[in-house]
Amino acid sequence: MNTSAPPFDNVKVRQAVALAMNRADIRDVAYSGTGELGPMEMPTGSPWYDLTGVFAVDQDVKKAKALLTEAGYPDGLTVEYLGLPQYPELLKTGQVVREHLKAIGIDMQIKPVDVSIWYDAFVKSTYQITSAYQERSIDPDNFYSLVLKTGGPVNTVKYSNAEVDALIDKAASSVDMAARKAIYSQIRTIVTQAAPIVLVHYETVHYLMNKNVVGSGITPTLSLHLEKVGFSK
């Protein structure tokens, strides 16, 4: 959500959107039931996975409606979602979210656009709400420093919080795993409460080969390496 302009400059509106979403619906419809639910920036297999303090892990329509009223929209509002027909999963995500938001009084109108138009609006933060892929799930710093730190190169939601910025820098400068995990738990609590981004799903990547092919390796960036591939006896 673009936090630099109405209505998503209002944290209660963003929180209402976060609470309205049902991640299982998105997985089942947009991704044919594959992959896993993703309420935070790291998947369940990551050593950084920690749901402590994460806001809106579960759908709560009643609370979402109340927040929308508190935000000054008791009769609902209309927003525009930029959809990408060239990326069916993202477009279907928008279609599912549209139904979720309808239940709390938000009329989300989907505007299908070409990738070039979408990208221009996304990087210039001239959109209201959209869906996008994030691939920065190796280390939390790769996500927070780029996507949510003030002035970050991929901070297209225009989120800015001085306390979060300081914590991001503190975590990035530490080599103590336990200390970094504790800091990222703090960051995650603050950021998910602010809800500039609602993380929903991890896509599963499959590599297919014969059972007698051995020695392949998959790196943390999901690239497939075949330097040591051979055949089993």
The pLDDT value recorded for residue 74 is: 96
Q: Where are the alpha helices (DSSP H) in the chain?
A: 11-20, 23-30, 61-70, 88-102, 115-124, 140-143, 162-172, 177-194
Per-block mean pLDDT, blocks of 10 residues, the chain (233 long): 98 98 97 94 90 97 98 97 96 98 98 97 97 85 96 97 98 96 97 98 81 83 83 85
Q: What is the CATH number of domain 11-231?
A: 3.10.105.10
Cis check: omega of the bond before 7, within 30 degrees of 0: yes
Token pair of 52 as six digits: 């402590």
Residue 84: closest CA among 38, 123, 128, 116:
116
Instruction: Name the phi and psi angles at 195, rounded to 5.
Output: 50, 50
**Alpha-carbon distances, residue 21 vs 64, 103, 139, 186 (angstroms):** 10, 10, 26, 23
Please tell me the predicted confidence (pLDDT) of residue 220: 65
Answer whether 23's CB lies under 8 Å from 38's CB: yes
Element (H, E) at 36: strand 36-37
Q: What are phi and psi of 232, to 5 degrees?
A: -80, 160
How far is residue 129's CA from residue 230's CA, in Å, rounded to a whole number? 47
- The confidence score (pLDDT) of residue 31 equals 94
Helix pair angle (162-172, 177-194), 10° resolution:
160
Contact 35, 217 (CB under 8 A): no
Predicted TM-score (pTM) of this structure = 0.90
Which pLDDT belongs to residue 208? Answer: 76
Length of the chain: 233
Q: How many C-beta atoms surround the C-beta of residue 203 within 10 A?
A: 15
- Residues with Cβ within 8 Å of residue 121, at least 6 apart in sequence: 82, 113, 127, 130
| DSSP character at residue 37 | E
User: Phi and psi (nearest 5°) for 29?
Assistant: -90, -50
Report the pLDDT value the prediction gives residue 135, as an integer from 0 to 100: 77
In this prediction, residue 221 carries a pLDDT of: 67
Q: Give me the sign of the Cα torsion angle 49, 52, 54, 58.
A: positive
